[in-house]
């Protein structure tokens, strides 16, 4: 059997024994992750990119048509991160430039290295979701996607936030507990076609736990996990720190069915329970902002901040009501093993994160044709003006509709798997039909605001 046929079997099978370990197929990939200076090079590249954004945003022209900082951040970097979620989970977090200043301070010994407090461990999820809401709200109301200086202030504030926690606490406490981008990346990573896991047969007799604690001058897991305790894609950064620390060659990078984790955990992740309804609601609100009705609402309220805030709250409330109604129709929200859960959350996760990809793709398609001319205007290369082009809206809308349709099909498939396995015989036919109609309502809501 060739590796690519094994990859296909891994993608369509729900059996762990069918999963293909990419470390075995491509040992050079494993060596790349294990060799820390490779990550240092990648992170340095990211640091340089962020430095360009900061310098260009603060010192460059305020006109977004003469400054690349805005589109570099919102049109290139952020869509690339969103796209990476579906393939490599949170691997972006392993090379993210935001921790750069904080890690530098820690390496210089300028950290108290305290253990993160219980408050941060217990309530970090709520704080990070709140910060995500603030970022999306400011992005729209303050027009950050068209404000180079505002974009730079946002980037700088996150860098400083990480640095403060790095000075106080050991490891990457910001990444584990507070980072709003990490939180959304972790929720999206539950849908990825890959997962980083340990071979527990090899971990069984381990007594050092070096993958978590580190040893011989090597750092342990920056988010306090260690390969042996990674059970989902929510928190692992796929940063590779555990690989050189493990003497048993336990870490694996596996191809999997992208819906396996969603079906297995049935919506018991508290992170997803808050992220998904807010994300869908905010996407619908952000798309509606481009419609004439939003301009009317803005004129009536006299303030875009008030109009968008009201729209965001209404959209979030409607999505939350839809999720609760779906849970009610399903009639199963308590498990004897892990307690309460929300089965509509994993069903809607594909639509939530495909929706984010579609929104960012729309911004990318709108601005990519003017990126090189913008660079030319900022740095006096007038020739680049001749390279301007535009992408028609209709093909982008068709592609967006195709992606959203696939997200809805995935939602129906997850529901179907629930009915065949975990909830076999427990969901009535009329409820099954009603849930499919509810998924269709979400799809139609997306299509109505996209077109």
- Calculate the CA 190 to chain-centre distance: 9
- Tens of pLDDT, residues 143-202: 888 899 999 999 999 999 999 999 999 888 898 888 988 889 999 999 999 999 999 889
d(CA 215, CA 208) in angstroms, rounded, equals 9
- Give the residue-averaged pLDDT of 40-55: 86
pLDDT at 445: 95
pLDDT at 338: 65
Band the pLDDT of 287: cuts 50, 70, 90: very high
Cβ atoms of 11 and 193 within 8 Å: the answer is: yes
Verify that 85 and 135 share a domain, yes or no: yes
Q: How many domains does the chain have?
A: 2
The residue from 261, 276, 295 where one domain ends is: 261
- Give the residue-averaged pLDDT of 69-84: 91
User: Which of these ranges, 13-22, 303-312, 360-369, 381-390, has the smallest mean pLDDT?
Assistant: 13-22
Q: How far apart are the first and last CA of the chain?
A: 45
pLDDT at 59: 93
- Give the residue-averaged pLDDT of 307-323: 92
- Tens of pLDDT, residues 365-415: 999 999 999 999 999 998 999 999 999 989 999 999 999 999 999 999 999
Band the pLDDT of 49: cuts 50, 70, 90: confident
Closest by alpha carbon to 86, among 239, 189, 199? 189
The pLDDT of residue 112 is above 70: yes
Verify that 286 and 390 share a domain, yes or no: yes
The pLDDT of residue 17 is above 80: no
Verify that 44 and 90 share a domain, yes or no: yes
Verify that 221 and 285 share a domain, yes or no: no
Alpha carbon of 422 to those of 47, 263, 300, 335: distances in Å? 46, 9, 50, 10
The one-character DSSP state at 382 is G
Verify that 96 and 152 share a domain, yes or no: yes
- Above pLDDT 70, what percent of the chain? 99
Phi, then psi, of 340 in degrees rounded to 5: -70, 145
- Give the residue-averaged pLDDT of 97-105: 87
The residue from 229, 261, 293 where one domain ends is: 261
The pLDDT of residue 35 is above 80: yes
Verify that 189 and 40 share a domain, yes or no: yes
pLDDT at 38: 76
List 215's β-bridge partners, or say none. 218
d(CA 258, CA 185) in angstroms, rounded, equals 15
Band the pLDDT of 1: cuts 50, 70, 90: low
pLDDT at 280: 95
Helix axis angle, 270-288 to 429-450, nearest 10°: 40
The pLDDT of residue 67 is above 90: yes
Band the pLDDT of 73: cuts 50, 70, 90: very high
Verify that 132 and 209 share a domain, yes or no: yes
| Angle at alpha carbon of residue 131, lines to 299 and 89, rounded to 5° | 115
Verify that 43 and 97 share a domain, yes or no: yes
d(CA 326, CA 427) in angstroms, rounded, equals 12
The residue from 261, 282, 316 where one domain ends is: 261
Mean pLDDT (the chain) is 89
pLDDT at 389: 93
d(CA 366, CA 362) in angstroms, rounded, equals 6
Verify that 192 and 307 share a domain, yes or no: no
- Give the residue-averaged pLDDT of 310-318: 92
The pLDDT of residue 334 is above 90: no
* Full domain range(s) for residue 222: 3-261
Verify that 139 and 226 share a domain, yes or no: yes
Band the pLDDT of 325: cuts 50, 70, 90: very high
Verify that 159 and 250 share a domain, yes or no: yes
The pLDDT of residue 273 is above 90: no
Verify that 288 and 186 share a domain, yes or no: no
- Tens of pLDDT, residues 259-269: 999 988 877 77
pLDDT at 205: 82
Q: How many CA atoms lie within 13 A of 50 on its CB side?
A: 21
Measured from the Cβ of residue 397, the count of other Cβ atoms closer than 10 Å reads 16
Burial level of 173, CB count in 10 A (0-12/13-18/19+)?
buried
In this structure, what token pair is assigned to residue 7? 């990859």
pLDDT at 270: 74
- Tens of pLDDT, residues 395-407: 999 999 999 999 9
User: Which of these ranges, 2-11, 124-133, 316-325, 410-419, has the smallest mean pLDDT?
Assistant: 2-11
């Amino acid at each position: 059997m060739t590796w690519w046929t094994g990859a296909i079997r891994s993608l369509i099978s729900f059996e762990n024994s069918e999963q293909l370990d990419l470390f075995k197929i491509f040992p050079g990939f494993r060596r790349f992750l294990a060799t820390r200076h490779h990550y240092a090079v990648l992170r340095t590249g990211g640091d340089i990119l962020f430095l360009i954004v900061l310098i260009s945003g603060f010192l460059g022209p305020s006109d977004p048509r003469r400054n690349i900082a805005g589109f570099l951040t919102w049109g290139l970097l952020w869509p690339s991160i969103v796209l990476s979620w579906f393939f490599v989970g949170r691997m972006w977090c392993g090379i993210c430039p935001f921790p750069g200043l904080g890690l530098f301070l820690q390496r210089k010994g300028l950290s108290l290295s305290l253990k993160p407090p219980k408050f941060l461990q217990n309530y970090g999820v709520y704080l990070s979701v709140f910060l995500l809401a603030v970022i999306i709200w400011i992005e729209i109301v303050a027009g950050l996607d068209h404000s180079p200086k505002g974009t730079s202030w946002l980037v700088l504030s996150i860098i400083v936030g990480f640095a403060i926690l790095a000075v106080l606490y050991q490891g990457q406490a910001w990444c584990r507990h507070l980072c709003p981008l990490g939180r959304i990346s972790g929720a999206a990573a539950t849908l990825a076609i890959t997962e980083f896991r340990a071979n527990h047969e090899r971990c069984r007799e381990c007594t050092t736990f070096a993958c978590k604690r580190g040893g011989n001058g090597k750092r342990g897991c920056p988010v306090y996990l260690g390969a042996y305790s990674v059970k989902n894609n929510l928190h692992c950064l796929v940063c590779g720190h555990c690989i050189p620390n493990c003497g048993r060659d336990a870490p694996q990078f596996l191809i999997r069915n992208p819906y396996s984790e969603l079906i297995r955990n049935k919506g018991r992740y508290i992170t997803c329970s808050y992220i998904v309804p807010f994300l869908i609601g905010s996407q619908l609100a952000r798309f509606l902002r481009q419609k004439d009705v939003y301009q009317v609402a803005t004129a009536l309220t006299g303030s875009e901040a008030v109009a968008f805030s009201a729209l965001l709250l209404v959209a979030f409330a409607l999505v939350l009501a839809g999720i609760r109604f779906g849970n009610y129709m399903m009639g199963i929200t308590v498990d004897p093993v892990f307690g309460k859960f929300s089965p509509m959350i994993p069903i809607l996760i594909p639509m939530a994160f495909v929706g984010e990809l579609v929104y960012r793709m729309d911004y990318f398609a709108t601005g990519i044709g003017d990126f090189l001319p913008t660079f030319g205007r900022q740095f006096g290369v007038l020739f680049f003006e001749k390279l301007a082009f535009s992408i028609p809206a209709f093909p982008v809308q068709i592609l967006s509709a195709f992606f959203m349709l696939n997200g809805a099909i995935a939602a129906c498939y997850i529901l179907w798997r629930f009915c065949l396995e975990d909830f076999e015989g427990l969901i009535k036919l009329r409820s099954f039909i009603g849930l499919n109609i509810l998924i269709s309502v979400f799809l139609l809501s997306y299509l109505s605001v996209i077109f």
